[in-house]
Structure 1
Amino acid sequence: MSARTCPACFGAALTEFYAVDRVPASSCLMLDDETAALAFPAGELRIAACADCGFVTNTAFDPALTRYSDAYEESQACSARFRDYAAELTASWVDRYDLVGKTVVELGCGKGEFLTGLIRAGVGYGIGVDPAVRLDRIDPAILHRTSWVTGLFPDDFETIEADAVVCRHTLEHIGPVGAWLRSVRAAIGPRTDTVVLFELPDVLRVLREGAFWDVYYEHCSYFSPGSLEGLFRRSGFEPIELRRTYDDQYLVIEARPVAGTWPMVGAVEPAAPGDRDEVLAAARQFVSQVERSRTQWRERVRKVAEDGGRVVLWGASSKAVGFLATLGDDARHVAAAVDINPHKQNRYLAGTGHRVVGPVELIDIAPELVIAMNPAYTEEIARDLETMRIPTALEAL
């Protein structure tokens, strides 16, 4: 398949609309020293939209540049706000799809927090698949009700025998999404009662907001509701429900396999338009939106620095790496990135080499401005700053 062929609908109507020449090839891999972080491999962004189905992809993505290992620290579970959301989602899925006592496979399970949460909510047995699994971080009390595959689907886990397949914030990391989702359908086999539960970012929000911090190398595939639903239908699944969650940042799709043998030979159906026109219109405005937003933030951090103040980012995540990479020279005005996840602290962000600090270090840093990388956490951050008696401006992306 050529780089100009849509990985979702296999059409030949990709049009590039946004480019960045150098971005870190990983945004959640924590580095142990600044030198290694600064020398981390870089890739290109060549973001294109499909005029047939509305799917958005990085045509310059090279999977050989990405690294997924136990040093990959994607967990959001240290946030009470996120834990509450995850608990609500697990409870709803267990209840809605009668998963009490059943078996669930999670593809791209990360450190396993969500899968263990499903078990606490009533799931009988969980199988997690991810190269970043850390068994030492799994609750020993439920370890006997789990098994873990330190690898990738389908290379290291070929057959899915389960009542539910969960896949959260993984599909956007996969380049050949059409072929990959068909492999999920094929691995399920003749069962049509297995529920398939996916969650991933909504590209329409990213495009409309000019959220350049949400476009980074590891995310090579971007979906709108329409392109996601179309992909599932073409891959042998019947969507049950598709909705936005988490302050409209995420898409959740729930589906079941349709009868038949998948992947079917020659099963390349024309893409339905869905919300394609909305995506294409937002893509046309994206660069100008990015320029306005980037200029605003460059001027903001530069002004604080010129006045002798310090700027820190709260959230040493993919958004922080994307934000710093796109700020260019003005990234030097950011003193550090703060994160409540202890596994990130005293380590360094790929590309710019910013050190990750714990919240308590802000007492000594005394920032004039804290930039929240995700507005969903603004209230939580504000409470922490108040508790530590740190007088600072707090603004969100």
Structure 2
Amino acid sequence: MVNIATTPQSELGELNKEHRCPNCGSQGLHIFYEVRNVPVHSCLMMSSKEEALNFPCGDVVLGFCPQCGFITNTIFDAKWSAYAPNYEDQQSFSPTFNKFALSLANKWIEKYNLNDKDIVEIGCSKGDFLFLLCEQGNNRGVGIDPSVVPGRVQSQASDRVKFIQEYYSKKHAEYVGDFICCRHTLEHIQPTKEFIQTVRDSIGERTNVAFCLEIPDNTRVMQELAFEDIYYEHCSYFSPGTLARLFRSCGFEVTDLYKEYGDQYLLIEAKPIAAETSDKVHPNEETVAEVAQDVEHFAANIQGKLQYWKDYLTEQKVANKKVVVWGSGSKCVAFLTTLDTINKIEYVVDINPNRHGKFIPGVGKEIMSPEFLKEYQPDMVIVMNAIYCDEIGVMLKNMGVETEVVAL
């Protein structure tokens, strides 16, 4: 644990005693990073520029819990959590992402003998991953997500999958099955302990039901100063240790804890136990003191990185360089709004056809197809996620677009 009395306030930020940690319940969070006036949603697709520019905005004020290491937006307002079918976060148009998703599905199928079983996915988005689990293992599935669009994804397992367009809650306890997974959902939920406890309570005494969860890894965000991964929808930020401690406090034993996808994603695998808590600590967990060091590093260096990118984009603008951002999702929105440099980027492109012709909330840029670059011939393409650089490089070459590719 971090000793508040011996931790200088200048390193971790001001201690706000009014805030209670939603992860462990302790009182008092250190405020260390603020971004004002950012769109409250990054992936809700707007039909016009005017609608996008008038989109509601809120503030991000990150607080660090010195007791458990959890990080949260202390002024997050859940009233903006309006996930709906026009929430467009589908990633399965990328071969790079599909390769990872298929590998993960096959790993869990083999590891948990998921053949002819009943699977529940909480926060299933458009259903891509749930269909993979059901196709590869001849399983049956239930997907719970208010943004799901039944019929969007074509699958041979369609007749074995049921979608529920709702937020997961206690009323869905009947949908437990033989295996539960939840990918990139917990970071959108502020009452984290309440959510994980709800899943544990739904399982009850069926201790053979595994629960696997995937979220962004906050260790990388802090260490690499990845400000583009901090935005309004993400109100909860976990390191391996903070996530594992949460699971144990809710009656799970952590059976595996690891990172994937270029260490961007943090995955936890757990099983329910009869005891109230488990004392089994996974070797990949870090201490709260180590999280505090990462927070201190971020707080001390983030302004320098922000200024670097502001200056860099200004230089390109002055030189009349045509700069395009590749990737119109949350990273793009955070990149442009945090830097307050929306007018230094003319166009944003995306591989997802369901985004084309739509406008980015809070930014107002129309999302273009990659084909647009054949005509535009940009001088530079800034890639929001470096893991896609090779894939994008091939696409640019095939389209006859010669340009500098810069990874954020």
TM-score range, shorter chain: over 0.9
Q: Does 1:165 align with 2:165?
A: no
* 3-state SS of 1:13 partner: strand
Tell me the residue number matched to 1:391.
402
* 3-state SS of 1:359 partner: coil
Q: How many Å apart are 1:19 and its aligned residue?
A: 0.7
State how many pairs are aligned: 388
Q: How many Å apart are 1:187 and its aligned residue?
A: 1.0
Tell me the residue number matched to 1:27.
42
Tell me the residue number matched to 1:281.
293
Residues 1-397 of structure 1 mapped to structure 2, 5 A cutoff: 4-139=19-154, 141-154=156-169, 157-259=172-274, 274-328=286-340, 330-397=341-408
The answer on whether the counterparts of 2:326 and 2:383 sit within 8 Å (CA) in structure 1 is yes
One-letter amino acid matched to 2:75: A
Q: How many Å apart are 1:3 and its aligned residue?
A: 6.3
Give the Cα–Cα distance (whole angstroms) in 2 for the partners of residues 34 and 158 of structure 1: 41
Q: How many Å apart are 1:14 and its aligned residue?
A: 1.2
One-letter amino acid matched to 1:40: F
Percent identical among aligned pairs is 38
The answer on whether the counterparts of 1:23 and 1:44 sit within 8 Å (CA) in structure 2 is yes
Gap change, CA 1:181 and 1:338, over 3 Å in 2: same
Return 5+ residue gaps in structure 2 as ranges: 1-16
The answer on whether the counterparts of 2:108 and 2:114 sit within 8 Å (CA) in structure 1 is yes
* 3-state SS of 2:346 partner: strand
Q: How many Å apart are 1:274 and its aligned residue?
A: 4.3
One-letter amino acid matched to 2:332: A
C-alpha offsets along residues 232-257 of structure 1, whole Å, 9 cap, x if unaligned?
Answer: 00011111000011000111100001
Further displaced range: 302-311 or 318-327: 302-311
One-letter amino acid matched to 1:352: V
Gap change, CA 1:193 and 1:123, over 3 Å in 2: farther
Q: TM-score under structure 2 normalisation?
A: 0.92
C-alpha offsets along residues 128-172 of structure 1, whole Å, 9 cap, x if unaligned?
Answer: 000011112132532210111000110652333311111000000
Give the Cα–Cα distance (whole angstroms) in 2 for the partners of residues 33 and 156 of structure 1: 37
The answer on whether the counterparts of 1:75 and 1:110 sit within 8 Å (CA) in structure 2 is yes
Give the Cα–Cα distance (whole angstroms) in 1 for the partners of residues 224 and 213 of structure 2: 24
The answer on whether the counterparts of 1:149 and 1:157 sit within 8 Å (CA) in structure 2 is no
Give the Cα–Cα distance (whole angstroms) in 2 for the partners of residues 141 and 67 of structure 1: 31
Give the Cα–Cα distance (whole angstroms) in 1 for the partners of residues 148 and 384 of structure 2: 25
C-alpha offsets along residues 150-203 of structure 1, whole Å, 9 cap, x if unaligned?
Answer: 001106523333111110000000010011110110111111000001000111
The answer on whether the counterparts of 1:213 and 1:323 sit within 8 Å (CA) in structure 2 is yes
* 3-state SS of 1:152 partner: coil
Q: Stretches of 4+ moved more than 6 A in 1?
A: none
What value does the CA root-mean-square deviation take over the aligned residues?
1.8
The answer on whether the counterparts of 2:383 and 2:407 sit within 8 Å (CA) in structure 1 is yes
The answer on whether the counterparts of 1:225 and 1:275 sit within 8 Å (CA) in structure 2 is no
Return 5+ residue gaps in structure 1 as ranges: none
* 3-state SS of 1:136 partner: coil
The answer on whether the counterparts of 2:21 and 2:65 sit within 8 Å (CA) in structure 1 is yes
Q: How many Å apart are 1:367 and its aligned residue?
A: 1.3
The answer on whether the counterparts of 2:117 and 2:140 sit within 8 Å (CA) in structure 1 is yes
Tell me the residue number matched to 2:14.
none
Gap change, CA 1:123 and 1:235, over 3 Å in 2: farther
Give the Cα–Cα distance (whole angstroms) in 2 for the partners of residues 107 and 340 of structure 1: 26
Give the Cα–Cα distance (whole angstroms) in 2 for the partners of residues 358 and 275 of structure 1: 44
Give the Cα–Cα distance (whole angstroms) in 2 for the partners of residues 3 and 164 of structure 1: 39
The answer on whether the counterparts of 2:122 and 2:144 sit within 8 Å (CA) in structure 1 is yes
One-letter amino acid matched to 1:325: T
Give the Cα–Cα distance (whole angstroms) in 1 for the partners of residues 164 and 352 of structure 2: 24
* 3-state SS of 2:259 partner: strand
